[in-house]
Structure 1
Amino acid sequence: MLHPYGVLLLEAPSAQSLAAAGHLCMVLADLVLIASALVLTFDVSIGQSLVKARMATAITLVAVQDLPLVVMSLGDAAHGGHSYRLTAGHLVTVVVLYGVFSVGARDQRPPRLNPMLGGLLLGLGVLAARLGLILTDPSPFLSVHRWQDQLVLAAIAVVTVLVALRLLRSALPAWAAQRIACGIFVIFAARVWATLTEATSPPPVAMAGVVLCSSLVATTAIGMLVSSLREHTTREASLVLRAAEAEATVQHDREVVHEMRAATAGIVAGVHLLASDQLPPGPRRLALKHMVDVEAARLGRTCTDDGPDQLAALAVDHVVEPLVIAQEALGHRVHWHPDGHRVLARHDTLAEVLNVLLTNAHRHAHGHATTISSRRVGEHVEIRVCDRGPGLEPGLEERLFQWGARGTGSTGQGIGLQRAHRLMLELGGSLHHDPAAATLGGATFVVTLRSADTDADLARTPHVRPAVPPEPSVPTALAAG
């Protein structure tokens, strides 16, 4: 903004050229103020800050009421003092500025009118008042030699201080309010200096104060915009995170409801059979009652959600048996024989995964029986669930374990397999579809877990049967038959 003075240093300076340079500096300073108001207006569109909107209005007002007088000074040296000396018109300016910051100061609603448009209208009004004073008094410059002018000068000083105090007490950031207040005092001091010295051309010292004020306003506006953009980015990231958390919570709840519905169906079918006395007293009735107790207990633990248990050595047959009985109670034929394998897993998690696979087989196999078997492969145990249904649709296998993945004719929700796959990864195991077995028809899913039996254990005991559970035991052969 001081570039015009720099150009003069390269040429022979004269009083006329110095005056022209000063006026050009004033023009540049006013243009910078308009640019600052534009930045603040954009800031307001982001954060809807009422105090920033009033700042933009005030800055636009100052530039609009001053810029035409500066341009007029460039064409007529007789009116040059209006751009840098204090006049009675400046009292109108500061009073209107104080009104901008004071009227409705407690109202925190977003601004309804474009801040720059409001500043333009107010600026034109103040400009009209100043031009009216110029027409009535050709030499309206204040002088310290007249007591009337001293009173006007004092009034301007008081209102200027009140404007600065209003800014310091506003909702602006402290650093921004302090910088703007400093800019106000600097430009007031610059104009007071030019008034006291009764300068006939723009004093370079006063012009430096004007430029400093515009620089403080511009850098403050840019700084507040950068701060608002950072806050907006942080707030947006926070909202995205909260939305992701909410979505994850909804998905988890839907997964739990999905499993509870599947488990409840088996329990209800079992209770119905027990209550209808269709099964006479004997091993099968005891097995059915045992299934209802085991599944009800698992369902209760699912509802409480106390967190996962530690990994433990589990007999696969103890986990599979109640599920097979529950499926049979639902009318789903399942071929299964105890194999005596043990794995490292969590009981409820493994039961939920196998229940998902059996329920899917029942839903999609169209009445065909399902086979569940286990075998040891190296240090792992594979549990295979096979059905003889239509198998997977072409192209479905690549997204089989994604949320919502399902076939075109499926009545499922695409939740169970996705949850089962994730639960197996949490156990340190895996769940996959065996495409090689699909050549025989149907679909085969393989659950792989680390074996709880070492090779030395197997060498000493060729066939390890699972330990008897604390609940009433049922012969597994009867349960499977």
Structure 2
Amino acid sequence: MAVPYAAAVALTAREGGWAAAGLLSGLLASAMVVGASGLLYLRWRIAGDPRQGWLLLVLTAWAVDATTRSGLRALQPEAYDDRAAWLLTFDVVVAVGAVALLLVAQRVLLTRDPLPAGLALGVLISVARVTLALVAPPVGLPGEADVIAGVTLLVLAGLVALALLRVPGVAEWARAGVAASLVLLSLGQVLAYHYPLGDARAAITIVTNLAGGLLLTGVTVALVLQTVRAQRREMRWLQGRLLEAEARQRRERESMHELAGTVAGIVSATRLLRGDANISASRREQLDQLVDAEITRLQETMAARHDERADAGAAVDLDEAIYPLVVALQARGNPVEWRPSGLSAQVRADDVSRAVNVLIDNVARHAPGSEAVIDVRRADESVEIHVADRGPGVPAEAREGIFDGADRGPAPYPVHGLQVAQRLVHEQGGYLRLADTPASQGAEFVIGLPAAGAGRRDRRGARRTALAGSRPPGGTTKR
């Protein structure tokens, strides 16, 4: 992209001077912004993350307005200069509106397609800009106001960039890249505000437009590639799970066939022993041995099935247990932050998934729109799963009985399934607790599980200890 950009600008500078080359650089940078918004929309279509909607809407509107502004500046430079005061005021209003939209993006999810809304907003801004440039009464800027106007626009661009850094749903490095490109392109806009451009101002404008356009395009290309790779990993993971399920189903069918044959042999031998009174002693002894052998075979088969299931739950990859829950939560439009940890726990995978699902479901209920943060970390001989949100938090009066609200009548902080989740975790020698965080910082629950590699005896002892600790003085477990 830099090569044709430089070639076009150099040719224009040779034929029409540096001022014309500076204006052309603005048009080319606007084209880059349009391409970047298209790439970001492609990513939105692939990922379907509603948290990216506002950023895409603002970027699309910016692309349309930047194209209009650059074209108008190139086609009607005198009209643009004659009404500089009007257009400066309009740019201030647009910047303030962009900051407001980005602040709204931190609290409200945009579930609809952002492209039509962004195009409509961009066209509305462009129509207003063209109207001011061509129809409004001429009101220029005094010579001493140039610096003030430029500083004002750069300050507003900085505010928009700061608001961009706080928009959720996009990686921090990507937000920083988009914010930096906005500042660079705004600098080029400020330098080109008055025509004709001097050679030095035109050269700086060309460089800033190129740097800003390339940075924005590079960030959006990287985001698209990252999303495509994530989709491929997800497909491979799903294919692996499907193959595992098919293999497990085949083993179950083989095992059931073996069990059916064993039971049929026992039934046949038993019927002969009970139904034929004239059977010889040697034949009876053979049938007794057959029954004993078949019963032993049945016991071994059942023991093998039990050991297989126990081994499958002995070392569970927590990433595989949590990942489907994250995908399901995102599919429902709830933002979630989670990174694979590579840690394993000595638990039953289904029970862990159920317990974590209870916690993230409560995040969606009590902190709608808030980002659920799932963090898995090692803690001594345990592995802890932290599930936090940025919602209103748990009131102080509800913290003490949050796991047994059903026993105390209507709870001040109604929860769903926490008792079940606590029971599932306790049965595996773990714990579930509410972290001691201020209510203003949201709620945080912690699931502690035995780390993979602990002996079965240690695990049973931890389980008995956890269950004993959860019983009231009367000796019966709360239900």
- Taking structure 1 as the reference length, the TM-score comes to 0.55
Out of 2, 6, 10, the residue aligned to residue 6 of structure 1 is 10
8 Å CA contact 2:65, 2:123 repeated in 1: yes
SS of 1:246's equivalent in the other structure is: helix
For structure 1, the residue ranges without an aligned partner over 5 or more in a row are: 309-481
Deviations, residues 176-235 of structure 1 (Å, cap 9, x unaligned) = 11211111222233334455xx55337221232122211111111001111111111111
Which residue number in structure 1 is paired with residue 71 of structure 2?
Answer: 71
Pairs within 5 Å for 1:325-364:
none
User: How far did 1:122 drift?
Assistant: 0.5
Which residue number in structure 2 is paired with residue 443 of structure 1?
Answer: none
Equivalent-residue separation in structure 2 for 1:130 and 1:24 (angstroms)? 19
Pairs within 5 Å for 1:67-466:
67-79=67-79, 87-108=88-109, 111-113=111-113, 115-134=114-133, 135-139=135-139, 145=145, 150=148, 156-157=153-154, 159-169=156-166, 170-194=168-192, 198-201=194-197, 203-278=202-277, 280=279, 282-305=281-304
> Which is worse superposed, 259-268 or 153-162?
153-162
Equivalent-residue separation in structure 2 for 1:34 and 1:7 (angstroms)? 23
> Which is worse superposed, 298-307 or 153-162?
153-162
Equivalent-residue separation in structure 1 for 2:22 and 2:10 (angstroms)? 11
User: How far did 1:165 drift?
Assistant: 2.3
Cα gap change, 1:155 to 1:72, in 2 (>3 Å): closer
8 Å CA contact 2:29, 2:209 repeated in 1: yes
Compute the RMSD of aligned alpha carbons. Answer: 3.1
8 Å CA contact 2:154, 2:183 repeated in 1: no
Equivalent-residue separation in structure 2 for 1:235 and 1:143 (angstroms)? 59
User: How far did 1:286 drift?
Assistant: 1.4
8 Å CA contact 1:73, 1:82 repeated in 2: no
8 Å CA contact 1:133, 1:140 repeated in 2: no
Equivalent-residue separation in structure 2 for 1:257 and 1:270 (angstroms)? 20
SS of 1:172's equivalent in the other structure is: coil
Deviations, residues 386-408 of structure 1 (Å, cap 9, x unaligned) = xxxxxxxxxxxxxxxxxxxxxxx
Deviations, residues 106-127 of structure 1 (Å, cap 9, x unaligned) = 4457x422x3322110101112
Which residue number in structure 2 is paired with residue 461 of structure 1?
Answer: none
Cα gap change, 1:69 to 1:162, in 2 (>3 Å): closer
User: How far did 1:26 drift?
Assistant: 1.6
User: How far did 1:171 drift?
Assistant: 2.9
Equivalent-residue separation in structure 1 for 2:236 and 2:272 (angstroms)? 54
Letter in 2 for 1:163: V
Cα gap change, 1:108 to 1:253, in 2 (>3 Å): farther
Cα gap change, 1:143 to 1:260, in 2 (>3 Å): farther
8 Å CA contact 1:29, 1:214 repeated in 2: yes
Cα gap change, 1:239 to 1:127, in 2 (>3 Å): same
8 Å CA contact 2:83, 2:138 repeated in 1: no
8 Å CA contact 2:25, 2:206 repeated in 1: yes
Pairs within 5 Å for 1:35-46:
35-46=35-46
Which residue number in structure 2 is paired with residue 25 of structure 1?
Answer: 25
Letter in 1 for 2:233: T
User: How far did 1:104 drift?
Assistant: 4.5
Cα gap change, 1:277 to 1:83, in 2 (>3 Å): farther
Which residue number in structure 2 is paired with residue 413 of structure 1?
Answer: none
Equivalent-residue separation in structure 1 for 2:173 and 2:82 (angstroms)? 32
Which residue number in structure 2 is paired with residue 470 of structure 1?
Answer: none
Task: Name the one with the larger helix percent.
Answer: 2
**Structure with the greater alpha carbon radius of gyration:** 1
Q: How many residues align?
A: 297
Letter in 2 for 1:130: R
Equivalent-residue separation in structure 2 for 1:214 and 1:84 (angstroms)? 25
Letter in 1 for 2:94: T
Equivalent-residue separation in structure 2 for 1:159 and 1:294 (angstroms)? 86
Which residue number in structure 1 is paired with residue 334 of structure 2?
Answer: none
For structure 2, the residue ranges without an aligned partner over 5 or more in a row are: 309-479
- Taking structure 2 as the reference length, the TM-score comes to 0.55
8 Å CA contact 1:87, 1:141 repeated in 2: no
8 Å CA contact 1:267, 1:296 repeated in 2: yes
Equivalent-residue separation in structure 1 for 2:189 and 2:95 (angstroms)? 13
Find out whether 1:54 has 2:54 as its counterpart.
Answer: yes
Equivalent-residue separation in structure 2 for 1:83 and 1:211 (angstroms)? 27
Equivalent-residue separation in structure 1 for 2:47 and 2:36 (angstroms)? 16
Letter in 1 for 2:47: G
